[in-house]
Structure 1
Amino acid sequence: MKIVADRDRCEGHGLCADTAPEVYELDDDAIVVLRHEVVPPELERKAEAGARVCPVAALRVEQLSVEA
């Protein structure tokens, strides 16, 4: 899975980083930065939880397609 961050929508509340610091952090302007391009399987639940708590819906979870 991967997370897509809408940095223009981010208001810097930091709930994502509080919930899943292994996945999200805030830059010097308090805008979300993703720590992984593709979320490792062991962090998927945390990544989803961090996306869910965003009050402005700036984070979206996407499943990676499996190519045959």
Structure 2
Amino acid sequence: MKKGRPSRAPKKLKDGYYMSITLKNTVKPIRIMRETIKELNHAKEKFKNHNFQYIGRVENHFWIDGIHKGKQTT
């Protein structure tokens, strides 16, 4: 078990494609990351019956496209 003070540094997102999926009978969405566009399309097909939203692509801690385009991930 890790003890001590938690880090104050903000968490960084990995490079890849991010999507938000809201499952049935839930309010909070789940954020999922995929490394390639092919994997993203596969996940889109898998969750086609759920509320699927493309968030964007992250590269070097910056949003390349999507909702947060041009912003830092922090």
Q: Same fold (TM over 0.5)?
A: no
TM-score under structure 2 normalisation? 0.34
Please state which structure has a larger fraction of its residues in helix.
Answer: 1
Please state which structure has a larger fraction of its residues in strand.
Answer: 2
TM-score under structure 1 normalisation? 0.35
